[in-house]
Copies of this chain bind each other. A is one copy, B any other.
Amino acid sequence: MPNGSTETRSDHAAAVRAARKARAAIRDGTLTGPTSGLAPGVEQGNLVILPADWAEDFAAYCAANPRPCPLLARGRPGDPTLPELGADIDLRTDLPGYRVFRDGTQVDAPHEIGGWWRDDLVPFVIGCSFSFESALLAAGLPVRHIALQRNVAMFTTTLDTQPAGPFRGPLVVSMRPFRPNQVDAARRITAALPRSHGAPLHVGDPAALGIADLSAPDFGDPCPVEADEVPVFWACGVTPQRALEQARPPLAITHRPGMMLITDLPLPAPAPA
Interface residues of A (CB under 8 A from B): 63-64, 66-67, 157-163, 168, 187, 191, 194, 198-205, 207-210
Is A160's CB under 8 angstroms from B199's CB? yes
Q: Which residues of B contact A157 (CB under 8 A)?
A: 208
Can you report 22 residue pairs joining A to B where beta carbons are below 8 Å apart? A63-B66, A64-B66, A64-B194, A64-B198, A66-B66, A66-B162, A157-B208, A158-B205, A159-B201, A159-B208, A159-B209, A160-B200, A160-B201, A162-B191, A162-B194, A162-B199, A163-B191, A163-B198, A163-B199, A168-B191, A168-B199, A208-B208
Question: CA–CA, A187 to B163, complex, Å?
Answer: 10
Is B191's CB under 8 angstroms from A202's CB? no
Q: Which residues of B contact A200 (CB under 8 A)?
A: 160
Chain B residue nearest to A67 (CB atoms) is B162
Given contacts A64-B198, A66-B66, A198-B64, contact A158 B191 (CB under 8 A): no
Q: Which residues of B contact A201 (CB under 8 A)?
A: 159-160
Q: Which residues of B contact A204 (CB under 8 A)?
A: 158
Question: CA–CA, A158 to B203, complex, Å?
Answer: 8
Q: Which residues of B contact A209 (CB under 8 A)?
A: 159, 208
Q: Which residues of B contact A199 (CB under 8 A)?
A: 160-163, 168
Given contacts A66-B66, A168-B191, contact A162 B198 (CB under 8 A): yes
Q: Which residues of B contact A203 (CB under 8 A)?
A: 160
Question: CA–CA, A67 to B161, complex, Å?
Answer: 9
Chain B residue nearest to A192 (CB atoms) is B163
Q: Which of A63, A157, A187, A202 has the most CB of B within 10 A?
A: A202
